[in-house]
Amino acid sequence: MSTALKSLIDQPYRHGFVTDIESDSVAKGLSEDVIRLISRKKNEPDWLLEFRLKAYRHWLEMTEPTWPNVKYPKIDFQDIIYFSAPKPKKKLASMDEVDPELRRTFDKLGVPLHEQAALAGVAVDVIFDSVSVTTTYKKKLADVGVIFCSFSEAVREHPDLVRKYLGSVVPHGDNYYAALNSAVFTDGSFCYIPKGVKCPMELSTYFRINTQESGQFERTLIVAEEGASVSYLEGCTAPQFDTNQLHAAVVELVALDNANIKYSTVQNWYAGDENGRGGIYNFVTKRGLCKGVNSKISWTQVETGSAITWKYPSCVLLGDNSVGEFYSVALTNHMQQADTGTKMVHIGRNTRSTIISKGISAGGSNNSYRGLVKIGAKADGARNFSQCDSMLIGDRCAANTFPYIQVQNDSAKVEHEATTSKIGEDQLFYFASRGIDAEEAVSMIINGFVKDVFTQLPMEFAVEAGRLLGLKLEGSVG
């Protein structure tokens, strides 16, 4: 590998600073007492505490999954802080009263907390460690009946809705990390789009882990009633520590008849240093239920961070004619490991799904696509198209594809295409011989490679994601 390639991937992480802010943390460790304490701190109703305890007892019986193609030392779940919140100076009456230190933090991250300065037309819920700091544009959204608030607030203000849908897509015992999340989740975002409403702006949650020893366990729940539609964005960063932090989130989406949910993520958790020290363990369960007829759920993810990524945003296509989509770019560099993909479970008739996955591996990283397409016995006329492309940069990285296809209905059509390419000497030489240097060449080749996915992102996000890929790959080619 030439030095030009090498120097292209090695760009420092720009969000690695720590905010010095007093926080209210629960002592390390996990037990029923800790769960009761968290629940009490949040003044939760009994049914929610029961939900947590049921999940916790289930979790105790479970074992950590070993099937992902990733390696890491055993996690000591007693060595994690399960609740950490910036100490409020006083009760907030408006955004202007947000702790200035917090406000500076988010300004630095490019997430302004005042509405005037906020991204035009994007409402933001900001999560700092375990709690939501603020939500913008709440009033404007309420005018059309859209509820967008922190999960804690939703539990207080809209308990019936939360109770109806919480755990309805990802049950409390779904998998090891989902069970853990169900037991200890502290905050997250809640969105509810009423019947027939097209949400007038993009909704967005920005997650920030700040405390070194805390885990982040947030819970997002989005419900789109009949004929409703919403586009939701998620962004995340964390300081640079040489220890690992656990991020085990659960996201549940519910789309009723003719509803449409578009969920986009740009994930830039700290990835660890070039020797693989530190970084976030991103073990996340995301699932959408197309419950109604003609409903549609679309996942778009750009995964660039985390030491380890383990996530499979999925669609359960229950309603007839419902549509699931998954567009993914997963970039790994240095010692990062990713085992990511999707599950499309076709249950209803004439259900359709599309999977476009683009994996980019650089440095000494390991990048796996794992995807399941399952066509149930009653899913007459179901169709799936999957395309899984891998690109290797340099010769120390690895790319793997693990497609699983289960078909129980003769009328189904399932297509799978896969390619592997490499940015190597010959491609770079071709560009060089036209006067184009390695950095520009790699950026052009990568942008071409991810184009099919990036065109699915909302505009502001696409620009940000493009810049992020460029930064991540700077110095990787040579």
Partner 1 sequence: MTKEEAPVLLEVRGLAAKAGSAQILKGIDFTVRAGEVHAIMGPNGSGKSTLSKVLAGHPAYEVTAGTARFDGQDLLAMAAEDRARAGFFLSFQYPVEVPGVANAQFLRLAYNSIQGARGRDELDPLEFDDYVREKMKLLEMAPAFLDRSLNTGFSGGEKKRNEILQMALLEPRLAFLDETDSGLDIDALRVVANGVNTLRNDDNAVVLVTHYQRLLNYIVPDYVHVMDGGRLVKTGGKELAIELEARGYDWIQKSAA
Which residues, 6+ apart, have CB-to-CB distance to 426 below 8 Å? none
Q: How far is the CB of 41 from partner 1 (least distance, A)?
A: 50
Q: How far is the CB of 444 from partner 1 (least distance, A)?
A: 6
**Smaller CB distance to partner 1: residue 94 or 433?**
433
Q: How far is the CB of 363 from partner 1 (least distance, A)?
A: 20
**Smaller CB distance to partner 1: residue 47 or 430?**
430
Sheet with 413-423, side-by-side order of all strands: 131-135, 122-128, 202-208, 229-237, 260-267, 296-303, 323-332, 352-361, 383-393, 413-423
* DSSP, residue by residue, 342-401: EEEEE-STT-EEEEEEEEEE-TT-EEEEEEEEEE-TT-TT-EEEEEEEEEEESSS-EEEE
**Smaller CB distance to partner 1: residue 3 or 406?**
3
Q: Please write down the HEC assignment for all residues of 81-101.
A: ECCEEECCCCCCCCHHHCCHH
**Smaller CB distance to partner 1: residue 31 or 419?**
419
Q: Whole-angstrom Cα distance, residue 246 to residue 214?
A: 8
Q: How far is the CB of 419 from partner 1 (least distance, A)?
A: 8
Number of alpha helices (DSSP H) and beta strands (DSSP E) in the chain: 11, 23
Q: How far is the CB of 440 from partner 1 (least distance, A)?
A: 7
Q: How far is the CB of 83 from partner 1 (least distance, A)?
A: 45
Q: What are phi and psi of 174, to 5 degrees?
A: -55, -50
**Smaller CB distance to partner 1: residue 73 or 435?**
435
Q: How far is the CB of 425 from partner 1 (least distance, A)?
A: 6
Cβ-defined contacts of 103-109 (< 8 Å, 24+):
104/19, 105/19, 105/21, 105/208, 105/210, 106/133, 106/206, 106/208, 108/17, 109/15, 109/206, 109/208, 109/237
What residues make contact with partner 1 under the rule CB under 8 A?
A: 2, 419, 421, 425-427, 429-437, 440, 444-445, 447-452
**Smaller CB distance to partner 1: residue 348 or 475?**
475
Phi-psi group of 247: left, alpha or beta (phi > 0 → left; psi -120 to 50 → alpha; rest → beta): beta
Strand, coil or helix: what is 70? coil
Q: How far is the CB of 169 from partner 1 (least distance, A)?
A: 34
Q: Whole-angstrom Cα distance, residue 213 to residue 241?
A: 10
Q: Are strands 337-346 and 308-311 parallel, antiparallel or unpaired?
A: parallel
Number of residues assigned to the chain? 478
Q: How far is the CB of 478 from partner 1 (least distance, A)?
A: 10
Measuring CA to CA, how many Å separate 247 from each of 134, 290, 389, 409? Answer: 21, 26, 27, 38
**Smaller CB distance to partner 1: residue 405 or 436?**
436
Q: Whole-angstrom Cα distance, residue 353 to residue 315?
A: 9
Local structure of residue 276 (DSSP, 8 states): S
Q: How far is the CB of 359 from partner 1 (least distance, A)?
A: 14
**Smaller CB distance to partner 1: residue 253 or 391?**
391
Phi-psi group of 230: left, alpha or beta (phi > 0 → left; psi -120 to 50 → alpha; rest → beta): beta
**Smaller CB distance to partner 1: residue 87 or 451?**
451
Q: How far is the CB of 442 from partner 1 (least distance, A)?
A: 11
**Smaller CB distance to partner 1: residue 402 or 431?**
431
**Smaller CB distance to partner 1: residue 157 or 425?**
425
